[in-house]
Structure 1
Amino acid sequence: MYPIRLKALALAATALAMAPAATDAVAAPAAAGTQADGEVVRPSKADTAFEKIYTEEWDWRQSLWAPDEDNPQAGPALPDVGRQAQAAKLARWSEVKARLARIDKAALSPANRINFAVYENQIDALLISQQYRDYEKPFNADTSFWANLASWVREPVKDEKAARGFLTMMRDIPRYYDQQIVNMRAGIARGFTAPRVTLAGRDAGIEQVVEAGASADNVFYTPFADLPETIPEATRKQLQAEALEVIGKDVVPAHARLLAFMRDEYTPAARTSLAAYELPEGKAYYRSKIREFVTLDKSPEEIHQLGLAEMAKIRARMDQVMREVEFEGTLGEFFEHLRTDPQFYPKTPEELLYRAAWIAKSFDGKASQFFGHLPRSRFAIKPVPDDIAPFYTGGRGGPGIYLVNTYDLPSRPFYSQVALTLHESAPGHAFQMPLAAENENLPAFRRDTYLSAYGEGWALYCEALGEDMDMYETPYDLFGMLSYQAWRASRLVVDTGIHAKGWTRKQAQDYLRDNTALSNHEIETEVDRYISWPGQALSYYMGELAFLDARAKAEKALGAKFNIRAFHDAVLEIGSVPLAVIDERVDQLIADDGVGPYPDEE
């Protein structure tokens, strides 16, 4: 899963699902096309109208984060999440939706037909989340606005202007947190809260800020602890003193109010039910989340049954591997053996980090065999920060970063590391997302937006691709991949089970325990994540199936002309798109006789 960037918060309800990377780029209108006979094809009226809609709306969306031009010290701003701002978003996206409905899609250029499918999906997700007032529940068991903020301030500053920008942002935290509290109170009033069972310990990061006080130990002092030497020493000292003052005056009191609210008001009032079906308009709400995260209109029952069928296939392969290592016992007993035998677990955080680095570099040696076009950007490997590690996934990746969770080492098995690294680093998130961002042929709203079904589906496909790349050196590594595949396939069963079928927390945990080799700690944190984030867990396996189906289709149609590098280049060059667009792109690859978008690099 990719790391959620702070900027995602500006997108209101979909902030936890569609996080765009920070950028000031503006979507450029599509250039006129040229036919084979050299005739220039001018954009149609439909093209011009559509480009005007998405350019204006994207500029407006970006303006939610624009600094105050009258203040030279202003830096990245915290979004306005108040009631008037939420109403403005609802009105704007409603207007955009109406304007899109008037576009003659048949008259659009081929490129803009794809742009339209992607953009309309974005607007639908943004609009529906506003209609259901998702902003009244601005966190879940995995991600929160306060943790996102704490993660953001860990980034180093490059100059004095950036440092002063951080000071400006920190002074605004009281306003931002108070608006979030008002929204959450409205959620309480209508029974739209996180489930109480998922809240235990989730306020630890808030408490740490309060306890650290106005000191150099406070996470919000991090940008000022090691200011670049290009800033004069006297100015550095002045900035550091000012930072401590702002932390004491603004940051700590805001966190203290939030902590009191979470403990004394929110948690006692939080709902005791688990299912999305129990929320206001619950059935329609959950169906909207399926559409948002899967980008397909599927019923919970359809997805549940698909999950059961896929789990049966994966268990059969797992049984084969278990026999290969000559384990005598049931599959359940083999899972327990893997969870408890010390040989499978690191003894130090460095062991885990070094192994992740070795796996990542091993892929580098194979990349050119499977990909023609590679991203320019690279990524770092770092441990998950201590304040969020207890509730965090085993790893998370994205542009420039692969985070490895070194908390509770007996729950971080070596046998899962290959699959985890392929998913989170390269060729997964830290590979796919930069490729999209670097593709200047795409409008900005496509380069800078993440759709979970595509991004997570691709990353999960990369785990399976590890077999083709001979990345799984031992049967245990292969079993780790199969366990991860089962983990994601089981989400189809568990997520729908919880939110549509009334499953208990224990039922969900037992299903994962019986069907995967995940540690007990991961099982507990994962189930809480599914409970508090309806539908998101469905995106992974549904997305992977789209990539696998597309590849099978291309292989069958092209036969000996099928080129794995051309296939990967083709499905990656389109950026993060609804799943139906992947199939359309492969149809074009087949029509092009298997020649990909970068033939000179294949």
Structure 2
Amino acid sequence: MTAPTTDNARQRTAVDEIADAHLDAEIAVDPIAATYLGVAGYETELTDYSPSGHQERREVGLRTLRALDDVQPVDDVDRVTIAAMRERLGLAEELYAIQADDHDVNVLASPLQSIRSVYDLMHKDSPDDWATIATRLTRTPEAMAGYVASLREGIARGVTPPRRQVEQCAVQADKHGSADGFFAELASGARAGDTDLPSSVAAELGRAAAVAAHSYTELATFLREELLPVAREADAVGREEYALRSRYFLGATVDLDETYEWGRAELARIEAEMRVVAEQIKPGATPDEAMQALDDDPARQLEGTDGLQAWMQQLSDAAVDAMAGTHFDIPEPVRRLECCIAPTHEGGIYYTGPSEDFSRPGRMWWSVPDDVTTFGTWRETTTVYHEGVPGHHLQVAQTVYRSALLNRWRRLGCWVSGHGEGWALYAERLMADLGFLDDPGDRMGMLDGQRMRAARVVLDIGVHCELAAPAELGGGTWDAAKAWEFFRHKANMAESILRFEVDRYLGWPGQAPSYKVGERLWLDVRDQVRAREGADFDLARFHRRALDLGSVGLDVLHGALLP
């Protein structure tokens, strides 16, 4: 397989038809995904998370796999599509086989969060938009009942999530369902542009929000009273399940023991570089002392979320202007990126892609904990590049834009964490190489983030594969207590964010290492292409060829760029 290198429109093929039919079928049984992808027509519905809903989505994938058995590729684009679909759908079937949907409870990426966060992406410009939101809110009891039915199925089969995740998700559910929680705030703050909603719409929205909030309160009760008593004590999933989840998040198979040792070595390398940069910031200082000096510098601090939002928008716009037409070809619709403060307070920074027609732009979101009111620009400059340009936004929005080249499943429906997060870390390093992080403070922020990502490789594999812990942690086997003791020294963050992060890793095995391991695999592919092409290698051309593949598994990426 070789990567396409042109925008010239292709003739649609039988493979494209299968891929697009699969996307349509997927969306039809997953309305929340439709909203995330910006596909209209499903705004009043919520996804069925019941056992029958999961089985229906499984059958969509199995039908597509059978259809692929009967089709022949006509070009390299088809060959990549077939490889990518077989890899993604095959792994989905493997996850179904271990009953992953029956114990899907974690603090960041389970149905609890999806049912709530879908409203962040819905239109809110007119009374009709809010009426649509109200209708969807009334579907919450049914969606929640389906989710609970799957968790009860897991209980019956003896497949349950860790206690830690159940406890923290119950807290989240209670918070969303409270009188000052997400749904109450959604209704009380609703406006159509600069005007209040008509009283009938406002009343309807208030009633619907109360229904949704009550569903979350009931979920919290179920989690505490029914699921928690049978939840498993262990956070670790074990090597066999971890290897499957690692493949799912990377789209590649890696040697877990070698990767663990590489993570330890990479962490040591980054910490050595941090010591060099600390000396530039404050002679004689340790990295922690240098970072404290940066936090004490008023010129590097922002107060309040309004200041944070304005600053990151300005920096993002400047990055787009600097990259467009020089290092990357950025089409006009892709140049719009909105920076937003998320309506939740759990912690975390994330990106959501544009709708297919770009009427909804790509957005960068900050979920700011209640106790965090001050933000260091030195710490977050690299994050803007990670989430925006040349990171996620460039990668995702460019793929959405390539309608002349890629089918809709390739543009909208395929996302591989190792590819996407690996590219975003690669993008941070690229910005450093291009001189955008030459300021020692900004470079320290990038290195601190890289240190955290390397530490996650060690922590995640160590805990879930139950490896021997380093001597500095007291030896023995990795566990949650050792994970906390280790991680709190490897990331310069508020304690509330650090604790959320550790809970996230313990409950979402394989995802956190996909950032740093994904970057490693991206760099390896680039270096191999450079070695093969020699003097003919052009970095901008490499980036264009790679990004034009869309988000595919990293083994598929390797096969496409190095046939």
Q: TM-score normalised by the shorter chain: which range applies?
A: 0.7 to 0.9
Partner residue in 1 for 2:270: 314
AA partner of residue 496 (structure 2): H
Partner residue in 2 for 1:13: none
How far apart in 2 are the matches of 1:426 and 1:415? 17
Task: Say whether 1:115 aligns with 2:81.
Answer: yes
Deviates more, 1:508-517 or 1:421-430: 508-517
Partner SS, residue 381 of structure 1: strand
AA partner of residue 348 (structure 2): T
TM-superposition CA deviations, 1:530-577 (whole Å, max 9, x none): 100011112111211222223333444445543332222221111101
Partner residue in 2 for 1:246: 208
AA partner of residue 31 (structure 1): Q
How far apart in 2 are the matches of 1:184 and 1:420? 36
Task: Say whether 1:486 aligns with 2:451.
Answer: yes
**TM superposition shift of 1:196:** 2.0
The equivalences for 1:467-506 within 5 A come to 467-501=432-466, 502-506=477-481
TM-superposition CA deviations, 1:174-201 (whole Å, max 9, x none): 1111111111122234443332224445
**Native 8 Å contact 1:150 1:220 kept in 2:** no
**TM superposition shift of 1:446:** 0.8
Change (3 A) 1:222 1:426: farther
How far apart in 2 are the matches of 1:114 and 1:330? 48
**TM superposition shift of 1:164:** 4.0
Q: Pick one of 324, 332, 339 that aligns with 1:381.
A: 339
**Native 8 Å contact 1:74 1:168 kept in 2:** no
**TM superposition shift of 1:425:** 1.6
**TM superposition shift of 1:125:** 2.8
Partner residue in 2 for 1:85: 53
Q: Pick one of 431, 440, 444 that aligns with 1:466.
A: 431
Partner residue in 2 for 1:426: 389
How far apart in 1 are the matches of 2:389 and 2:481? 35
How far apart in 1 are the matches of 2:110 and 2:515? 21
Task: Say whether 1:328 aligns with 2:289.
Answer: no
**Residue ranges of structure 1 left out of the alignment (5+ in a row):** 1-28, 33-42, 68-72, 278-282, 589-602
Partner residue in 1 for 2:543: 568
How far apart in 2 are the matches of 1:145 and 1:532? 14
How far apart in 2 are the matches of 1:417 and 1:335? 16
Partner residue in 2 for 1:550: 525
How far apart in 2 are the matches of 1:411 and 1:132? 43
The equivalences for 1:507-586 within 5 A come to 507-586=482-561
Partner residue in 1 for 2:138: 171
AA partner of residue 341 (structure 2): P
**Native 8 Å contact 1:363 1:426 kept in 2:** yes
AA partner of residue 274 (structure 1): D
Change (3 A) 1:97 1:545: same
Q: Pick one of 93, 97, 100 that aligns with 2:65.
A: 97
**TM superposition shift of 1:435:** 0.8
Change (3 A) 1:59 1:211: closer
**TM superposition shift of 1:584:** 4.0
**TM superposition shift of 1:509:** 2.5
Partner residue in 1 for 2:252: 296
Partner residue in 2 for 1:274: 235
How far apart in 2 are the matches of 1:518 and 1:546? 27
TM-superposition CA deviations, 1:308-344 (whole Å, max 9, x none): 222232223222212333442555x547746975756
**TM superposition shift of 1:104:** 7.5
**TM superposition shift of 1:103:** 5.1
AA partner of residue 204 (structure 2): E
AA partner of residue 319 (structure 2): F
**Native 8 Å contact 2:339 2:365 kept in 1:** yes
**Native 8 Å contact 2:166 2:223 kept in 1:** no
Task: Say whether 1:445 aligns with 2:398.
Answer: no
How far apart in 1 are the matches of 2:134 and 2:31? 16
Change (3 A) 1:66 1:310: closer
AA partner of residue 487 (structure 2): L
Q: Pick one of 16, 20, 24 that aligns with 1:59.
A: 24
**Native 8 Å contact 2:483 2:502 kept in 1:** yes
TM-superposition CA deviations, 1:30-71 (whole Å, max 9, x none): 627xxxxxxxxxx7xxxx4x455434433321221479xxxx
TM-superposition CA deviations, 1:103-160 (whole Å, max 9, x none): 587x652221111111112212322222222222333122343433333334443556
How far apart in 1 are the matches of 2:127 and 2:270? 54
Partner SS, residue 365 of structure 2: strand
The equivalences for 1:35-434 within 5 A come to 48=14, 50-51=15-16, 53-65=18-30, 75-100=43-68, 102=69, 108-154=74-120, 155-158=122-125, 162-212=129-179, 218-221=184-187, 225-227=190-192, 236-248=198-210, 250-277=211-238, 283-328=239-284, 330-331=286-287, 333-334=288-289, 337=292, 341=296, 345-367=301-323, 368-374=325-331, 376-377=333-334, 378-385=336-343, 388-389=344-345, 391-394=346-349, 396=351, 398-399=353-354, 400-407=362-369, 408-409=371-372, 412-434=375-397
Partner residue in 2 for 1:31: 11
TM-superposition CA deviations, 1:483-527 (whole Å, max 9, x none): 211211222211101100241223222333344434433332211
Question: What is the TM-score normalised by the length of structure 1?
Answer: 0.78
Number of residues paired by the alignment? 523
Change (3 A) 1:131 1:347: same
Pairwise CA RMSD: 3.3
**Native 8 Å contact 2:19 2:407 kept in 1:** no
AA partner of residue 114 (structure 1): V
Deviates more, 1:110-119 or 1:548-557: 548-557
**TM superposition shift of 1:482:** 1.2
How far apart in 1 are the matches of 2:490 and 2:31? 47
Partner SS, residue 402 of structure 1: strand
Change (3 A) 1:478 1:372: same
How far apart in 1 are the matches of 2:547 and 2:438? 27
How far apart in 2 are the matches of 1:196 and 1:327? 46
Change (3 A) 1:374 1:307: farther
Partner SS, residue 198 of structure 2: helix
AA partner of residue 448 (structure 2): S
Change (3 A) 1:413 1:509: farther
AA partner of residue 525 (structure 1): F
How far apart in 1 are the matches of 2:350 and 2:214? 32
AA partner of residue 398 (structure 2): L
